[in-house]
A and B are shown apart, each in its own frame.
Chain A
Amino acid sequence: MNFKESKPIYLQIADRICDEILQGRYAEGDRLPSVRDYAATVEVNPNTAMRSYDFLQSRAVIRMQRGIGYFVEQEAAGRIRAFRRETFMNEELYDFFRQARSIGITPEELAALYRQYCNNRFEKIQP
């Protein structure tokens, strides 16, 4: 079955923290808000925020220092980009291809359009 994703909240929050790191709100080596504070900010159960922190720790984006709190890892930004690339390649691109084929777009067409886009010459086709 190919149900559309309903991304779990803990992953949405992990994504939000990643965005904050990439945007420089939390720099490498910075301390993150406590799990409870972060949970209160986004209004979720602290157990959910804990899962987000655990997930980011398993991806070596943040690390816990016992008794002190969570810190942004060195090279966190690079890891986030690598992780997002992986998700894009494995999941989003697959859905995109599936859709492209179902409406009859050829690989050549796609390649040409993507090349145009990267050269800043891509224009939306007017209906």
Chain B
Amino acid sequence: MMTIEHLSFGYPKRKNRVFDDFSLKLREGNVYGLLGKNGAGKSTLLYLMTGLLTPQSGQACLHGVNVRLRRPDTLADFYLIPEEFDLPDYSLEKYVRLYAPFYPKFDHESLRRNLEAFDMTEDLKLGELSMGQKKKVLVCFALATHTSWLIMDEPTNGMDIPSKSQFRKLLIREMDEKRGIVISTHLVKDVEQLLDHIVIIDGGHAVMDAPVADICQKIYFGQTENEQEAAGAYFAAPSPHGFDIMAANPAGKDSEINLELLFNGALAHPEIMTRLFTPEK
């Protein structure tokens, strides 16, 4: 499990704190979607979760160990793909030789298979790759490490259309009960169907922290052309066919989650979300 306990953090010389007494629990076996506006602190949160930043108070723990201690066994058990990164100017083969030994469960066969899914081979020169290709290589490497946690910041950003599809297929094949995945993204359509759990952060708080199954039980997502019906919903947004709505779901009707609508609705009416989804203590 990954836990964030009463964490507060602000960048030096900036007036507002990014997080103030922020808590969150993440369990293996789930794919978490981390959503928030630009500057809401998504990347900051990922860096705090992985020990790259030091909180002013509180802590982030992996399996009960404070990640900021940067213990080798902690660092060997998660993998972070940042939004922007650079790969060294040598071969993938050398990269694997240098970095795979840090991950005791590294699986070379899995790396080969993952690369193949992206139509890539192992004899790559990392310096010759485009950003999108570098991202694919790092995703393949990250999946092959078989760490308990895989944390990705905007993973599909820069990927072409067929690669996004391959990315989803790879993740589906690699996810299991022992592994947790965190995806921070604005490109919700790219990963909407993969998520088990939604976390939306705004103003230093989690305005939503709930499993998709719970969300769909308590909120009905639908469409209407009737303006009064739209006005009676928790949140409605005009659309070509009338309105997309999210409404109360007393009958427990199954509907399909509309993540963009949920995001806008949660930011517009955080009090409704708090009432519906009491955060886990």
A121 interfacial contact with B, CB 8 Å: no
Q: Is the CB of A43 within 8 A of B224?
A: no
A28 to B170, CA, bound (A): 30
Give chain B's interface residue range (CB within 8 Å of chain A): 20 to 34
Contacts of B258 in A (CB 8 A): 6
Q: Is the CB of A1 within 8 A of B247?
A: yes
Q: Is the CB of B216 within 8 A of A43?
A: no
B220 interfacial contact with A, CB 8 Å: yes
B232 interfacial contact with A, CB 8 Å: yes
Q: Is the CB of B256 within 8 A of A6?
A: yes
A44 interfacial contact with B, CB 8 Å: yes
Contacts of A4 in B (CB 8 A): 222-224, 241
Contacts of B107 in A (CB 8 A): none
Contact with B along A7-44 (1 / 0, CB 8 A): 11111000000000000000000000000100110011
Q: Is the CB of A3 within 8 A of B245?
A: yes
Q: Which residue of A lies closest to B172 (CB)?
A: A40
B195 interfacial contact with A, CB 8 Å: yes
B193 interfacial contact with A, CB 8 Å: yes
- The stretch that binds B, out of A45-53, A57-65, A71-79, A111-119, is A45-53
A1 to B220, CA, bound (A): 11
Q: Which residue of A lies closest to B242 (CB)?
A: A4
Q: Is the CB of A40 within 8 A of B173?
A: yes
A46 to B193, CA, bound (A): 10
Nearest CB of chain B from residue A26's CB, rounded to whole Å: 21
B92 interfacial contact with A, CB 8 Å: no
B274 interfacial contact with A, CB 8 Å: no
A109 interfacial contact with B, CB 8 Å: no
Contacts of B173 in A (CB 8 A): 36, 40
Nearest CB of chain B from residue A116's CB, rounded to whole Å: 30
Q: Can you name 30 A-B residue pairings with CB atoms under 8 Å?
A: A1-B224, A1-B229, A1-B247, A3-B220, A3-B222, A3-B229, A3-B247, A4-B222, A4-B223, A5-B255, A6-B223, A7-B255, A8-B216, A8-B254, A8-B256, A10-B254, A11-B254, A36-B172, A36-B173, A39-B172, A43-B165, A43-B168, A43-B169, A43-B172, A44-B172, A45-B172, A45-B193, A45-B195, A46-B172, A48-B193
**Minimum-distance CB pairs A-B, first 4:** A3-B222, A44-B193, A8-B254, A43-B168
Q: Chain A residues in contact with chain B, CB under 8 A?
A: 1-11, 36, 39-40, 43-48
Q: Chain B residues in contact with chain A, CB under 8 A?
A: 31, 165, 168-169, 172-173, 175, 193-196, 216, 220-224, 226, 229, 232, 241, 245, 247, 254-256, 258
